[in-house]
Structure 1
């Protein structure tokens, strides 16, 4: 299990990925924006649930610094507000969460539906619910 730094819950390692806060493609600009010598410095790293990392890569979300120097998730794509995180998973990733054991009517449930292999993760979580959430650094 690895901790997703947005949701602050443990998930199977196969559905968590390491990502850069300040992107590798902007390495030449890092001296102007961040105070790290190496783009691969651990202080520039995040562990994210794969759907969150994918949305971050596609610029549907970003991490902004608030007045207290806390990174928070900002949802840029309004179409993602009601999008379930699990809608972005491959079948293999869904299976890693125990998706095959989830009742078939889970999408119409009015109460949380927790993933068998990630018991803190509600599979009904949307990107909109993450808007404004602070990153949790270990």
Structure 2
């Protein structure tokens, strides 16, 4: 599976694909290993040759001329021409900056449609399949039509290339990195308007509505027209429905008057021993807290996370620039860590 990595050109190191003075054949074991994401000792040897690296001052022809690899020795069609190394720390730092920028600017993460594997993994891990096309939301004690309960990433799939170095996730679709939530919660989670905070005293993950403008808003009003139709099962609401008392949805066991404020502080409900990874919950809460400070949301300075990640920590300076530093004691990457 190919992976798209976004980074600045200045973070790339470019070397000629030469091994023992010969261009690497595209069908060689070394080339096949590179395409599979494997880095052999021969490739390590290429990256150690700083004298062969393409510099900012070189043009390609001059570079090849200095290498003595022009004319008959120039690379042919079925040979590799260059190998590229991405600086790990530069990639990580710029990737983290991208995550923070997206969170702060209300950039809703866009990723490919959820795979059956991802959703099936969550349904099995958290036992949320209620049968008959219904799925349980892990926050509300209610089941909904399956299309209205969304697999919600804590560390989003858009940043898959940072999942292993930053979060120690071998699989971005790991059930420990996601929750099954009613659509309005999923949307707010993606936009870092809500987060979940681990409560050690009760060993529970509790909802924290960080954007105060949501508190009085009905969950029903956050659904699009098609979702509202599914929930109402083609019934029509009276125009003054907002001012009336409780009104249960025909398509689910939920009061249509329920607001975000009504469920603020509510704990996730688990039917199995499976839990989301705390490091993923903490990092999402950390991003939400950061966004809240930028937007002046009340309560954004409260302690709602632990800033330690799996082997890295994010350092935020006073001017909100970011860098990554190694931590001496990475958190446990097993179980609920």
TM-score by length of 2: 0.37
Judged with a 3 Å threshold, the aligned counterparts in structure 2 of structure 1 residues 22 and 136 are, in CA distance, closer, same or farther, namely: farther
2:215 to 56, 81, 103: 81
Q: Does 1:108 align with 2:243?
A: yes
In 1, are the aligned partners of 2:137 and 2:149 still within 8 Å (CA)? yes
Structure 2: how far apart are the matches of 1:72 and 1:92?
29
Structure 2: how far apart are the matches of 1:100 and 1:107?
18
Structure 2: how far apart are the matches of 1:31 and 1:115?
44
Using CA pairs under 8 Å that are at least 6 residues apart, name the structure with larger relative contact order, 1 or 2: 1
> Residue 228 of structure 2 aligns with which residue?
94
1:121 to 254, 270, 279: 254
1:102 shift after superposition: 4.9
Structure 1: how far apart are the matches of 2:208 and 2:157?
20
Count of matched residue positions in the alignment of Structure 1 and Structure 2: 135
In 2, are the aligned partners of 1:83 and 1:126 still within 8 Å (CA)? yes
1:137 to 257, 270, 275: 270
In 2, are the aligned partners of 1:86 and 1:94 still within 8 Å (CA)? yes
Alignment of 1:11-90 (within 5 A): 11-27=144-160, 28=162, 33=167, 36-67=169-200, 68-90=202-224
> Residue 136 of structure 2 aligns with which residue?
3
Judged with a 3 Å threshold, the aligned counterparts in structure 2 of structure 1 residues 130 and 55 are, in CA distance, closer, same or farther, namely: same
| RMSD, aligned α-carbons | 2.0
Q: Which has the higher strand share?
A: 1
In 1, are the aligned partners of 2:163 and 2:169 still within 8 Å (CA)? no
Please say which structure displays the higher CA radius of gyration: 2
**Worse overlay, 18-27 or 85-94:** 18-27
Which runs of 5 or more structure 2 residues have no equivalent in the other structure? 1-133, 272-337
Structure 2: how far apart are the matches of 1:58 and 1:9?
23
In 1, are the aligned partners of 2:163 and 2:170 still within 8 Å (CA)? no
1:137 shift after superposition: 2.3
1:47 shift after superposition: 0.9
Structure 2: how far apart are the matches of 1:106 and 1:100?
16
TM-score by length of 1: 0.86
Structure 2: how far apart are the matches of 1:60 and 1:77?
5
